[in-house]
Amino acid sequence: MKTKNRVSGIVTTGIERHSAHLVLLACGGWTPSLLPEAENLLETTGGRVLSIQLPPNRKDLWDKYSEENFPVWSWNMGSYKVPGESIGGIYGMPRTPEGVVKVAFRGAKWTSYTRHTSTGEALSYPETGTDQIPAEAMRVIRTFVAENMPDLLELDLSNCRLCWYTDSVDNSFLIDYVPGTEGLVVASGGSGHGFKFLPVLGEHIVDVREEGHSLY
């Protein structure tokens, strides 16, 4: 809900209107397409995640990949350079209670774009309607798993998907009033590591609300 340079609330998909003195836009990967002013600072990118289901009768694998025996890990996060050749930018975690082991590739970033309805400007957004991942991501993950976790290759792939991030130009957060617009604060730019800062992010958002500025 915007009149000239003032935001006064939101309209939901159900056409319900919710008035507010201050609107906080913290919409993850949807932020650039909802707030075109942020497109030069934020970009929505897709990481690739493979989920592998451990068979119920393979107690050896359930033990091996349990959180007691298998760490959260990452490998050569900055080493992916040449598509078709490089192996790097990979991470993963122990099995879930349901026996799912996740391995992901973040070395390259895939982006989907839509167009601003008025200006035609390209705006990045999360393409959530697909469960396919790029062939290059599959190559990197399969090559790594074959060498380091070969017992997973013989198992069923229970799910593959894109995990959407909101990357800022310098991997720092974007927490601020939107210039030229009253009543609107944006909090975004998690850049793949925002989860680590969850306990302290709130105070910086409050700084913007109460003092008009923050470090970000």
Span 125-140, pLDDT tens digits: 898 877 777 888 889 9
CA distance 34 to 89: 29
Same domain, 117 and 25: no
Same domain, 36 and 59: no
Same domain, 130 and 60: yes
Same domain, 152 and 184: no
Domain that holds residue 96: 45-166
Same domain, 154 and 178: no
Same domain, 147 and 177: no
Q: Return the pLDDT at 216.
A: 64
How sure is the predictor about 145, in pLDDT bands with cuts at 50, 70 and 90?
very high
Tokens 């990481």 — which residue? 47
Q: Are 106 and 42 in contact (CB under 8 A)?
A: no
Q: Where are the alpha helices (DSSP H) in 150-213?
A: 198-211
The pTM of this model reads 0.78
What domain count does the chain have? Answer: 2
State how far the alpha carbon of 25 is from the alpha carbons of 88, 141, 163, in Å.
34, 34, 20
